[in-house]
């Protein structure tokens, strides 16, 4: 039918539209949708806070969706009149007030939309979004690979079914030990304890947990201890389908041998259920009964729990319990491994003398391997000891063997990565840390180590995001804060922000002597020597004779011109560095220059040979990105002792290594390049490299470089050199002013504030 011009066109569809409009059906529908959305948001917020089960949220959403067609139907079939609600067919059209009702609905919709907009702004910008573990694991899930290994598993924390608080540590210990046992199966991926413990008492369903951890299967269970009996029930679940793949209950007499046998049986049953290959070597490892003494086993579990806590007190206490387990059973190999780790970590956490602790650590782990030479954990611990002694090649062989025997042993990947970093093999270290992070996606330590490696290879934006994620995931851990401080201080030239972030780390852990030493470094960079000294003094209060503060205190003495004190400290730092593979740069430089002045050049060279044999003793110097700074110092020694050609040959090996380093970051190339050219007598090139570094943002240790580095002596009176020093000094003065403002506001803590809390 043709439409005639000027005549309104009418159709059944148009009539229906007009009738829907007249009866306010559209307005009711819009109002209902806005109200339903608001109710859903409020319910979601309330349910999250009260820990309401997920099915309740789904039920509310279903009812809201069901209500929509009902609301539309009532708007069509009924009408509001002055006499109340009536069926639409019973209302006289001439007395209808739908237009008046429609205007009220319009106003209501406008108000509701305003409320919805306000809630959206509040929720997205203003609401407190303090990071939680749940949010953190969701972020990890977003990065999880699309392909999940069908032989991957997370062993969730077991329930303590006896409901006695004193049995809680026993339940946690058995869970940890079982997890370690399953992790020995080479064909499986097993998530580490740190990450699974985040799900203790969680309300999340198994599918969510599996997605967040990147696994296909979940093992859950419980332990009930009653007198001399123990019941362990476990069930293996396919997380994607919620299908029970296997389940078993073990009722046994409570003996150490039975506990190990149960763990072995569970591990083999899981492997069978997942069709994972179980090699003869795997079978042998699973069948080991590490001790038949129940008291020794319980002492070992308690020691391991204490060691995992990693405080000065807990590490010291763990040594006592490991030793007690050994006294009860001298053939308990795993107890010797734990004792070795505790002795080694007592240097870092308890301030133990490495000259005493490290030989004890080595003796303990060698005893473990004498008892059982197929314990992967023992090889990892031995590798860490060798790495401390700078025997990197031997340490690497131990780490490789550790991973062969215990493919899911997290510490092996972390310590192996540190060993690679110590050799300047930063890309390989990064890959090793990332492999470890796959096994422990919620680890603050590994995530921070990934960030440090990214700084070393110049991927600064990725490093920043990694440290930010570490802070978000672990607001109560200092590792993310420390990494973020290093990023700001070594990459962005923002020493004030570095102080702020390390301050936040100290708020999370007020007993962290290492963070206090870092605070001292930042204050030295700000040319505030007095506050730096207060932080060093404070670090000794919380951890007497800790190694972290030793080289920083040496730097402080040099900057103050206190030569006698500096010499004493230099010898102390050198002795400590010989044991613990820490930075010994300034101590070696100062002792070298004193030896040169007294005609003891051979003594100076021998001191370097002790710490850097790969440079001094090798036919071809093994210079890498971790030791190049020492190589320049050794070249300087050769120049000073009349062996200029030997020094030039060494610098030829140094130059390509320095060029492979980013200009900024930890030990970036700016300072190293300038020192190399200065030694070669290329002063213009040295000044140009130094200027490039200053302009890019190099600030760490600038006072030492400009005022005390002997290699820069030929440049010290050059106008460009003087101008660069003045530029940095002015920048640091402004940043110190900002730090003072943050101290006054309480955003940055001072050492005396921590002292007041003692």
Q: What is the pLDDT of residue 62?
A: 63
260, 330, 283, 175 alpha-carbon torsion, rounded to 10°: 40
Q: How far apart are CA 99 and CA 106, in angstroms?
A: 10
Quote the percentage of the chain above a pLDDT of 90: 52
Is the predicted pLDDT of residue 670 greater than 60, yes or no? Answer: yes
CATH number of 135-276: 3.40.50.10610
Q: How far apart are CA 566 and CA 554, in angstroms?
A: 6
pTM, to two decimals: 0.77
Q: What is the pLDDT of residue 132?
A: 44
The helix, strand and coil proportions of the chain, stated in percent and rounded to the nearest 5, come to 70, 5, 25
Q: Which residues contact 265 (CB under 8 A, 6 or more apart)?
A: 248, 250
Is residue 372 classed as helix, strand or coil in its secondary structure?
Answer: coil
Q: How confident is the model at residue 296 (pLDDT cuts 50, 70, 90)?
A: very high
Greater confidence, 725 or 314?
725
> Which is nearest to 551 in space by CA: 530, 593, 521?
521
Q: How far apart are CA 101 and CA 83, in angstroms?
A: 14
Q: What is the pLDDT of residue 45?
A: 56
First to last CA, the chain: 94
Task: For 359-375, write each residue's pLDDT tens digit.
Answer: 999 999 999 999 999 99
Q: What is the pLDDT of residue 311?
A: 76
Alpha carbons within 13 A on the beta-carbon side of 253 = 3
Quote the percentage of the chain above a pLDDT of 70: 81
Q: What are phi and psi of 225, to 5 degrees?
A: -110, 125
Q: What are phi and psi of 86, to 5 degrees?
A: -130, 155
Q: How far apart are CA 320 and CA 335, in angstroms?
A: 11
Tokens 């002013």 sit on residue? 737
Question: Distance of CA 556 to CAs 512, 525, 546, 679, 725, Å?
Answer: 20, 11, 16, 26, 18
> Which is nearest to 179 in space by CA: 203, 160, 158?
158
Q: How confident is the model at residue 43 (pLDDT cuts 50, 70, 90)?
A: low
Q: What is the pLDDT of residue 218?
A: 94
Structure-token pair, residue 738: 């900002």
Q: How far apart are CA 705 and CA 668, in angstroms?
A: 14
Lowest mean pLDDT among 64-78, 115-129, 170-184, 332-346: 115-129
Q: What is the pLDDT of residue 129?
A: 41
Task: For 16-34, write each residue's pLDDT tens digit.
Answer: 556 656 656 666 677 667 6
C-alpha angle with apex 735: 734 to 740, nearest 5 degrees? 100
Q: What is the pLDDT of residue 36?
A: 67
Q: How far apart are CA 4 and CA 635, in angstroms?
A: 100
Identify any residues that bridge with 236 across adjacent strands, giving them in sequence order. 219, 246
Greater confidence, 130 or 219?
219
CB 407 within 8 A of CB 434: no
Q: How far apart are CA 35 and CA 190, in angstroms?
A: 46
> Which is nearest to 487 in space by CA: 475, 474, 470, 473?
470
Task: For 543-567, write each residue's pLDDT tens digit.
Answer: 887 788 889 999 999 999 999 999 9
Question: Distance of CA 503 to CAs 211, 390, 478, 535, 749, Å?
Answer: 35, 32, 9, 11, 6
Beta strands at 217-226 and 189-190: parallel, antiparallel or unpaired: unpaired
Q: What is the pLDDT of residue 127?
A: 42
Lowest mean pLDDT among 145-159, 480-494, 628-642: 145-159
Is the predicted pLDDT of residue 7 greater than 50, yes or no? Answer: no
Task: For 577-610, write each residue's pLDDT tens digit.
Answer: 777 777 778 888 888 888 888 888 889 999 899 8
Greater confidence, 413 or 116?
413
Identify any residues that bridge with 153 across adjacent strands, giving them in sequence order. 190, 217
Task: For 130-161, write each residue's pLDDT tens digit.
Answer: 444 444 445 444 444 457 888 999 999 999 88
């Amino acid at each position: 039918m043709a439409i005639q011009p000027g005549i309104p066109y009418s159709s059944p569809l148009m009539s229906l539209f007009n009738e829907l409009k007249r009866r306010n059906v559209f307005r009711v529908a819009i109002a209902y949708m806005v109200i339903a959305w608001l109710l859903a948001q409020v319910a979601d917020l309330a349910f999250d806070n009260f820990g309401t089960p997920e099915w309740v949220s789904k039920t509310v959403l279903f009812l809201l969706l069901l209500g929509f067609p009902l609301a539309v139907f009532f708007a069509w079939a009924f009408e509001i009149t002055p006499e109340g609600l009536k069926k639409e067919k019973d209302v006289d059209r001439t007395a209808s007030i739908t237009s008046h009702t429609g205007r009220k609905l319009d106003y209501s919709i406008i108000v509701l939309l305003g409320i919805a907009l306000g809630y959206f702004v509040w929720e997205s910008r203003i609401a407190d979004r303090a990071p939680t573990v749940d949010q953190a694991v969701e972020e990890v899930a977003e990065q999880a690979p699309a392909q999940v290994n069908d032989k991957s598993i997370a062993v969730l924390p077991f329930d303590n079914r006896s409901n006695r608080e004193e049995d809680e540590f026993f339940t946690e210990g058995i869970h940890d030990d079982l997890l370690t046992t399953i992790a020995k199966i080479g064909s499986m991926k097993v998530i580490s304890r740190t990450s699974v413990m985040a799900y203790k008492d969680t309300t999340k369903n198994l599918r969510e947990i599996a997605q967040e951890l990147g696994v296909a299967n979940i093992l859950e269970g419980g332990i009930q201890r009653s007198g001399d009996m123990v019941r362990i029930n476990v069930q293996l679940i396919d997380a994607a389908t919620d299908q029970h793949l296997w389940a078993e209950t073990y009722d046994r007499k409570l003996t150490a041998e039975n506990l190990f046998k149960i763990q072995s049986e569970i591990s083999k049953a899981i492997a069978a259920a997942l069709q994972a290959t179980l090699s003869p070597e795997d079978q042998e490892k699973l069948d080991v009964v590490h001790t038949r003494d129940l008291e020794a086993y319980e002492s070992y579990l308690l020691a391991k729990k204490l060691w995992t806590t990693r405080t000065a007190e807990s590490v010291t206490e763990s040594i006592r319990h490991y030793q007690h387990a050994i006294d009860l059973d001298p053939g308990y190999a795993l107890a010797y491994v734990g004792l070795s780790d505790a002795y080694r970590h007592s240097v870092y956490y308890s301030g133990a003398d490495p000259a005493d602790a490290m030989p004890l650590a080595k003796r303990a782990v060698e005893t473990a391997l004498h008892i059982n030479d197929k314990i992967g954990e023992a090889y990892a611990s031995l590798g860490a000891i060798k790495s401390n002694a700078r025997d990197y090649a031997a340490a690497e062989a131990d780490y490789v063997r550790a991973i062969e025997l215990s493919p899911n042993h997290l510490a092996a990947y972390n310590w192996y990565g540190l060993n690679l970093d110590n050799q300047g093999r930063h890309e390989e270290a990064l890959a090793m840390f990332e492999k470890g992070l796959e096994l422990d996606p919620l680890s603050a330590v590994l995530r921070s180590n990934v960030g440090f490696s990214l700084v070393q290879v110049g991927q600064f934006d990725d490093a920043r995001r990694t440290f930010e994620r570490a802070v978000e995931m672990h607001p109560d851990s200092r590792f993310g804060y420390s990494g973020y401080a290093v990023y700001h201080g070594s990459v962005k030239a923002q020493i004030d922000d570095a102080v702020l972030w390390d301050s936040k780390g100290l708020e999370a852990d007020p007993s962290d002597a290492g963070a206090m030493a870092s605070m001292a470094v930042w204050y030295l960079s700000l040319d505030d020597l007095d506050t730096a000294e207060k932080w060093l003094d404070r670090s000794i209060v919380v951890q007497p004779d800790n190694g972290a503060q030793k080289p920083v205190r040496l730097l402080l003495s040099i900057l103050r011109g206190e030569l006698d004190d500096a010499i004493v400290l230099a010898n102390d730092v050198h002795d400590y560095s010989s044991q613990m593979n820490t930075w010994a740069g300034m101590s070696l430089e100062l002792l070298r220059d004193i030896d040169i002045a007294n005609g003891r050049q051979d003594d100076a060279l021998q001191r370097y040979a002790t710490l850097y044999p790969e440079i001094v003793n090798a036919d071809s110097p093994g210079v890498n990105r971790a030791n190049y700074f020492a190589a320049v110092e050794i070249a300087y020694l050769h120049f000073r002792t009349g062996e200029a050609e030997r020094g030039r040959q060494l610098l030829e090996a140094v130059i390509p290594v320095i060029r492979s380093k980013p200009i900024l970051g930890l030990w970036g190339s700016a300072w190293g390049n300038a020192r190399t050219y200065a030694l070669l007598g290329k002063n213009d090139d040295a000044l140009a490299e130094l200027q490039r570094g200053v302009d890019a943002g190099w600030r760490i240790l600038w006072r030492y470089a400009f005022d005390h580095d002997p290699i820069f002596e030929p440049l010290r009176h050059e106008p460009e050199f003087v101008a660069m020093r003045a530029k940095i000094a002015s920048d640091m003065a402004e940043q110190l002013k900002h730090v003072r403002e943050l101290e006054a506001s309480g955003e940055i803590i001072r050492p005396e504030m921590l002292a007041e809390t003692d």
